[in-house]
Structure 1
Amino acid sequence: MSDIAVLVNLRARRGTEGVGGLVQRFLPRARLALTRSLEEAREWISHQLRPNPPALLLAGGGDGTITGLLNELRDAGVALPAIGVLPMGTGNAWARVTGAPRPAVALKQIAAVEGRLPPLRPFALVRVNGKVAPFAGTGWDAEMIQDFKDQLASAGPLRSQQAGLRGYLTAMFTRTVPRHMFGEGNPQVSVYNLGDDALTVDDQGKVVPLPNGQKGALLYQGPAGVAGAATTPEWGFGFKAFPFAQAVPHRLSVRVYGAGVLEATRNMFRLWKGAHPLPHMNDWFVQRLRMDFDREVPFQMGGDVIGMRRSVEFDLAEESVQLVDWRELSRMVSV
């Protein structure tokens, strides 16, 4: 398999032209793009990938880069190729879930399979308003992402010290949490099932039918600190926000956490590890679902805040994506 394309987002946290040099060294026949904007990536897709789609696309960046690529490929009418995530972003949720090593090792491993497709792992996709992502939601997660980015923008020469997990936690404790402690509290949400009968998990983590969870049913009405859907367990930084995400094939994992900010802070490490059960945590597996809020809330897809929403409808996309299973690949090759 010589038909490999590689995109490196130079605006990602660890995106550098040096990675492009590594691509040319280990994969000299690959089609390479070093991009600094969505427009440059879109032009490359249109001119290079649409006429001749690759069998494998390696994407260097964070979750926002990967999500953006998926949607640009769909918009251009390009069938989704197998995708290998090169971890160069901040949270790197999909990179962590698939066990991606640092880019130099990843490129060596791809070169070592001698023209064959590497082992792949399928992932379903969340769809909202025609766009797809591995996860999407509203609440503290979206606020923390925006607070983190605002903090980076004002960090000046200290930006590099605020770019990782430390900066994310700093933004959370100095911006997001105080705003909720002294603000208007959690919004209220009404959650409606729009697909086949909903499932849930019991206290032992076993998937069970949800009583009165039929199509059209009101699944939940109450406060929502975080409310979202995912097809992958992590948000990034190892935070297992959706620990049951792949427990039921062909279903979205949906969570609504109704606790206040102080209780959430006390339970932060349990939340981070995906502990179950937790008070005020609600889990469902659905095909399609709508959330109506009593006020506008920030909304994020794949780690990028895309605006404010009063109502959000999630469903399972028809297409799925095949991601390189780096853990399995590492067992196949020795580099």
Structure 2
Amino acid sequence: MNIAVLVNLRARRGSEGMGGLVQRFLPRARVALTRSVDEARTWIDQQLRPNPPSLLLAGGGDGTITGLLNEIRAQGLALPAIGVLPMGTGNAWAHVTGAPRPAVALKQLAAYGERLPPLRPFSLVRVEGRLAPFAGTGWDAEMVQDFKNQLAATGPLLGAQSGLRGYLGAMFTRTIPRHLFGSGSANVSVYNLGAPALTVDANRAIRPLPGGDTGALLYRGPASVAGAATTPEWGFGFKAFPFAQAMPHRLSVRVYGAGVLEATRNMFKLWRGEHPLPKMHDFLVERVRMDFDREVPFQMAGDVIGMRRSITFELAEESVQLVDWHRLSSLVTA
């Protein structure tokens, strides 16, 4: 099997030692240890273009993997099967696919032999010409930026302030206070630009949305968080989009209109993806546009892109096959 491996050395758990670990378990794999998008781009052009891999292992977080997919696509190459090695912070795709620690993942692949491991298909969100498993605006984007600002300011406390503890710290010391004493959430108008919209009723059954025809206004009101996804999680097991794979060929779009105090009280229900929740609006769509009454922070796959006043989310034509680590683990340990 033709395997290539990219490790982002800037990822939370990225290290040069991964190169030796890969060579130990997969001695014929091509390995790249990169520190920048430019280095990854050059490696794709010089190594993957002449000899496309059947399996590409990506060591990093969701931002690393999303960036890698978009660079491969930008160079006109077909997307290979991807194996996620969890080295980032949130690791949403890694958690959903059951990815173990990198050393265990490499050992499992070696034990499986010269065969493509079991794969799981994932659709993708397309926004502004780029692909991602999830993208959104509001508190999630603010919290990511607050987390990064916190890391930049902590210096020697970096280890203690990283990971889930760091995200929660940023949320409670920066994001929540800003909303408590600030101007509150932006208002959004959500328009359906694709086939008639579907929704999820109180029993979690998928139903046509009354008044959800093409061109219809699906929602207008406050939006503490508004986004779209094709994967259920944001990271750390947070099921922000529990219906992301409930209907094939549809995006899961959610708008949460509650204020910061109500959201804080319901934090664990939100985390578990409980349904229904007051002021949570779920739509299953092909394409939507969100217009905000002011600029809002915008993130894709956990990377803050900037501020936006209007965003169009659509289901991408492309999809990606990810290694199903749950299944692989059961096969190699059976």
- Name the TM-score class by shorter chain: over 0.9
Q: What residue is the counterpart of 1:164 in the other structure?
A: 163
Query: Where does 1:103-118 land on structure 2 (aligned, <5 Å)?
Result: 103-118=102-117
Q: What residue is the counterpart of 2:60 in the other structure?
A: 61
Give the superposition deviation at 1:20. Answer: 1.1
Q: What residue is the counterpart of 2:73 in the other structure?
A: 74
State the TM-score, normalizing by the size of structure 2: 0.99
Rounded to whole Å, the distance in 2 between the matches of 1:152 and 1:20 is 27
CA deviations over 1:266-322 (Å, ceiling 9, x no partner): 000000000000000000000000000000000000000001000000000001000
CA deviations over 1:45-101 (Å, ceiling 9, x no partner): 011011211000000000110010010010011100000000000000000000000
Query: Where does 1:194-205 land on structure 2 (aligned, <5 Å)?
Result: 194-205=193-204
Rounded to whole Å, the distance in 2 between the matches of 1:12 and 1:269 is 27
Give the superposition deviation at 1:334. Answer: 2.8
> What residue identity is the alignment partner of 2:131?
V
> Helix, strand or coil: the match of 1:110?
helix
CA deviations over 1:223-263 (Å, ceiling 9, x no partner): 00000000000000110000010000000000000000010
Q: Unaligned 5+ residue runs, structure 1?
A: none
> What residue identity is the alignment partner of 1:283?
D
Q: What residue is the counterpart of 2:138 in the other structure?
A: 139
Give the superposition deviation at 1:184. Answer: 0.4
Q: What residue is the counterpart of 1:256 in the other structure?
A: 255
CA deviations over 1:3-36 (Å, ceiling 9, x no partner): 1000001110000111111101111110100001
Rounded to whole Å, the distance in 2 between the matches of 1:284 and 1:314 is 12
Query: Where does 1:279-294 land on structure 2 (aligned, <5 Å)?
Result: 279-294=278-293
> Helix, strand or coil: the match of 2:93?
helix
Q: What residue is the counterpart of 1:318 in the other structure?
A: 317
> Helix, strand or coil: the match of 1:317?
strand
Rounded to whole Å, the distance in 1 between the matches of 2:19 and 2:150 is 29
Q: What residue is the counterpart of 1:210 in the other structure?
A: 209
Rounded to whole Å, the distance in 1 between the matches of 2:215 and 2:287 is 10
Q: What residue is the counterpart of 2:178 in the other structure?
A: 179
Query: Where does 1:79-90 land on structure 2 (aligned, <5 Å)?
Result: 79-90=78-89
Rounded to whole Å, the distance in 2 between the matches of 1:164 and 1:127 is 27
Q: Unaligned 5+ residue runs, structure 2?
A: none
State the TM-score, normalizing by the size of structure 1: 0.99
Q: What residue is the counterpart of 2:187 in the other structure?
A: 188
Q: What residue is the counterpart of 2:300 in the other structure?
A: 301
Rounded to whole Å, the distance in 1 between the matches of 2:154 and 2:86 is 23
> Helix, strand or coil: the match of 1:60?
strand
CA deviations over 1:130-181 (Å, ceiling 9, x no partner): 1000000000000000000000011100001111101100000000000000
Identity of aligned residues (%): 79
Give the superposition deviation at 1:114. Answer: 1.2
Rounded to whole Å, the distance in 2 between the matches of 1:114 and 1:269 is 41
> Helix, strand or coil: the match of 2:219?
strand
Rounded to whole Å, the distance in 1 between the matches of 2:61 and 2:214 is 36
> What residue identity is the alignment partner of 1:260?
G
Q: What residue is the counterpart of 1:229 in the other structure?
A: 228
> What residue identity is the alignment partner of 1:48?
Q
Rounded to whole Å, the distance in 1 between the matches of 2:224 and 2:188 is 10
Rounded to whole Å, the distance in 1 between the matches of 2:332 and 2:21 is 18
| Moved beyond 3 Å, runs of 4+ | none
Rounded to whole Å, the distance in 2 between the matches of 1:334 and 1:111 is 13
Q: What residue is the counterpart of 1:93 in the other structure?
A: 92
